[in-house]
Amino acid sequence: MPARVLDGKALAETMRVEIAQQVAAHVALGHRPPGLAAVLVGNVAASRVYVRNKRRACDAAGIRSWLYELPEECSSQQLLDLVAQLNADAQVDGILVQLPLPKQIDEQAVIEAILPDKDVDGFHPDNVGRLTIGIPRFLPCTPYGVQQILQREGIDTAGKRVAILGRSNIVGKPMALILMQKPSKAFPMGGDATVTILHSRSRDLVEQLRQADILIAGIGVAHFVQPEMVKPGAVIIDVGINSLEGKIVGDVAPGVAEIASAMTPVPGGVGPMTITMLLQNTLEAARIHSGLSPRETSVR
Ligand SMILES: Nc1nc2c(c(=O)[nH]1)N[C@@H](CN(C=O)c1ccc(C(=O)N[C@@H](CCC(=O)O)C(=O)O)cc1)CN2
Ligand SMILES: [Mg+2]
């Protein structure tokens, strides 16, 4: 039997309606609508599409958004000046600097310049540190989206073997931190799983992958995961977005659907959830800025 399709697009739509209701409730309490500043630097076509989709999703949820564009050849200082302006703007709850940035820009300096309580991507070291010790403020949107797919599709992660292919700061590392975490009041999304991160230097890759109850692929190689690398009945989450022969494909080969019990499609799986979780984080930022959410929570 082919794998059950984990329809991220449908779940993203459901969650966006829920978020719109939460935004309306927030405004009904007398608060101003949440606001997101989106920063787009240069001419990467895909980045332009993602930012446009993020702003459309904001609009539909009742979140205000503003687009700031800088030219491809801008300097780090120009971008840092813009971030400082947005940090100081009381209408702005969240700042999204779309990645990747042009090569002359010091990406890490830009990430660190964003105020941690406006860092709705969850990339600032303060937010990464909080996630690491189990008192997160904002979870990075892609792994947060994966966690929501697993939870809302009823896929229990407690005690499961999870293999994560890829060790990026945006996907692999935060994904591991979320799924290994013991759930607590401060961190209800904790997955209680046994997590293995695999990467280009990992030995016995296929054997490791074949032990996984849940396999999360985020290495950016089209169709890297082949059927013989997967344990029969495993759950497969495909975070890859690659272009192959003019089509968008994931890191997982289509034949894996014959082996797996459930699998996210590409497109229409994790991608739409990434955008949805940005809305959730922006609402959370607005709650923080209106004094509704605790800034600090203790480890339990
Ligand atoms: N500042 C950030 N930059 C980047 C992030 C991020 O979370 N924050 N993630 C990615 C890009 N990304 C969001 O920004 C993103 C990628 C893909 C999708 C998506 O919906 N993809 C579609 C398929 C692709 C397409 O049709 O063009 C899908 O999977 O269905 C959404 C968001 C890197 N940069
Ligand atoms: Mg990302």
Q: Tens of pLDDT along 177-204?
A: 999 999 999 999 999 999 999 999 999 9
Same fold, 26-116 and 140-271: yes
Per-residue pLDDT at 128 exceeds 90: yes
Question: Given the CA of residue 49, which atom of ligand 1 is nearest to it?
Answer: 27
Instruction: Indicate the CATH number of 26-116 among 3.40.50.300, 3.30.360.10, 3.40.50.10860, 3.30.1130.10.
Output: 3.40.50.10860
pLDDT at 119 exceeding the cut of 90: yes
Is pLDDT of 300 > 80? no
Residues 216-220, mean pLDDT to the nearest whole number:
97
Asked if residue 256 has pLDDT above 60, the reply is yes
pLDDT tens digit sequence for 130-147: 999 999 999 999 999 999
CB of 251 closer than 8 Å to CB of 218: yes
> Residue 1: its pLDDT value, please?
87
3-class secondary structure for the chain? CCCEECCHHHHHHHHHHHHHHHHHHHHHCCCCCCEEEEEEECCCHHHHHHHHHHHHHHHHHCCEEEEEEECCCCCHHHHHHHHHHHHCCCCCCEEEECCCCCCCCCHHHHHHHCCHHHCCCCCCHHHHHHHHCCCCCCCCHHHHHHHHHHHHCCCCCCCCEEEEECCCCCCHHHHHHHHHCCCCCCCCCCCCCEEEEECCCCCCHHHHHHCCCEEEECCCCCCCECHHHCCCCCEEEECCCEEECCEEECCECHHHHHCCCEECCCCCCHHHHHHHHHHHHHHHHHHHHCCCCCCCCCCC
pLDDT at 38 over 70: yes
pLDDT over 80 (residue 34): yes
**Residue positions annotated with a catalytic role:** 54, 98, 121
Residue whose CB lies within 8 A of the most ligand 1 atoms, among 11, 48, 50, for a mutation test? 50
Mean pLDDT for the stretch of residues 238-259 = 97
* Complex prediction ipTM: 0.95
Kindly report whether the global pTM for this prediction surpasses the value 0.90: yes
Report pLDDT digits (tens) over 44-59.
999 999 999 999 999 9
Confidence of residue 299 (pLDDT cuts 50, 70, 90): very low
Is position 122 annotated in a ligand binding site?
no
Is residue 297 pLDDT above 90, yes or no? no
Label residue 269 by pLDDT band (50, 70, 90): very high
Mean pLDDT computed over 223-247:
98
Which residues sit opposite 236 in a β-bridge? 215, 263
Q: Which residues line ligand 1 (CB under 6 A)?
A: 49-50, 96-99, 121, 141-142, 170, 241, 248, 266-269, 271-272, 274-275
CATH architecture of 140-271: 3-Layer(aba) Sandwich (3.40)
Calculate mean pLDDT across residues 17-26.
98
Gap between the Cα atoms of 27 and 128, Å rounded: 29
In this structure, what token pair is assigned to residue 73? 């050849």
Q: Residue 293's pLDDT is what?
A: 82
Say how many Å lie between the CA of residue 217 and the centre of ligand 1: 15
Taking the domains of the chain in order of start, what are their residue ranges? Answer: 26-116, 140-271
